[in-house]
Amino acid sequence: MAARKKLTIDDIAFEPNEPTVVPLARLFAWVVWQFPRVREGGFNGAVHPPEADHGWYPAVINAAEGYAKIFGQIKEPYPTPEAAAKYLEKAKT
């Protein structure tokens, strides 16, 4: 199986096979959407990079500790934050 190439957006290099932990302060130009569903490590959510035509990545948002665990390893970003957050209901973190 060929190794997946690291995805880089806004100078953030995402792990190709697992979620990437990013400080919320580093996402200042991103849209951070938090769904009010508690899960281990924070809340279900999604993040959108500062690129107009880009989709949403699922993310576990932990505002108390100041980080987001972003699922940049997914095959394609989702068209809406709700769809991205729904991915987390099935994902193991």
CB 22 within 8 A of CB 10: no
pLDDT tens-digit readout, 45-75? 999 999 988 999 999 999 999 999 999 999 8
Q: Between 16 and 36, name the one with better pLDDT.
A: 16
Residue 37 is predicted with a pLDDT of 78
Instruction: Tell me the pLDDT of the chain averaged across its residues.
Output: 89
Q: Is 85 in a helix, a strand, or coil?
A: helix
> Tokens at residue 41, please?
């490590």
Query: Strand order in 57-62's β-sheet?
Result: 20-23, 67-70, 57-62, 42-48, 31-39
Q: Once rounded to an integer, what is the mean pLDDT over residues 31-45?
A: 83
pTM score of the predicted model: 0.88
CB 46 within 8 A of CB 58: yes
Residue 2 is predicted with a pLDDT of 53
Residue 1 is predicted with a pLDDT of 45
Q: By C-alpha distance, which of 29, 26, 64, 58 is closest to 45?
A: 58
Residue 93 is predicted with a pLDDT of 56
35: part of which helix (H) or strand (E)? strand 31-39
Q: Is 51 in a helix, a strand, or coil?
A: coil
